[in-house]
């Protein structure tokens, strides 16, 4: 992460950190969304995204999570 931050600042680029989400994944509930996003927001030039896996993810996350 430190190397990515230095490169981001030196080259004026931003990164997207994508989390796999869904049943049997570490990111598997709506309650985990805010802490993860808060952690990423501590790093300038970084943005969080969700990649949902499986069929049940639609019931695991709110509509807000799905479009943000």
**57 within domain boundaries:** yes
The CA dihedral of 38, 39, 43, 46, to the nearest 10 degrees, is -80
The mean pLDDT of 31-47, rounded to a whole number, is: 82
The mean pLDDT of 27-53, rounded to a whole number, is: 81
The helix/strand/coil state of 50 is: strand
**22 within domain boundaries:** yes
**67 within domain boundaries:** no
Is residue 49 within 8 A of residue 18, CB to CB? The reply is yes
The mean pLDDT of 47-51, rounded to a whole number, is: 82
**68 within domain boundaries:** no
Q: How far is CA 53 from CA 22, 23, 61, in A?
A: 5, 8, 12
Average pLDDT of the chain to the nearest whole number: 80
**26 within domain boundaries:** yes
Total domains, the chain: 1
pLDDT on residue 22: 83
pTM over 0.85: no
Domain of 46, in residue numbers:
2-62
Quote the CA–CA distance of 56 and 16 in Å, as a whole number.
24
């Amino acid at each position: 992460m430190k190397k990515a931050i230095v490169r981001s600042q030196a080259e004026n680029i931003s990164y997207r950190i994508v989390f796999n989400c869904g049943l049997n994944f570490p990111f598997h509930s709506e309650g985990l969304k805010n802490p993860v996003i808060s952690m990423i927001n501590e790093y300038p030039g970084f943005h969080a995204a969700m990649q949902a896996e499986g069929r049940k993810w639609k019931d695991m996350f709110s509509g807000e999570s799905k479009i943000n």
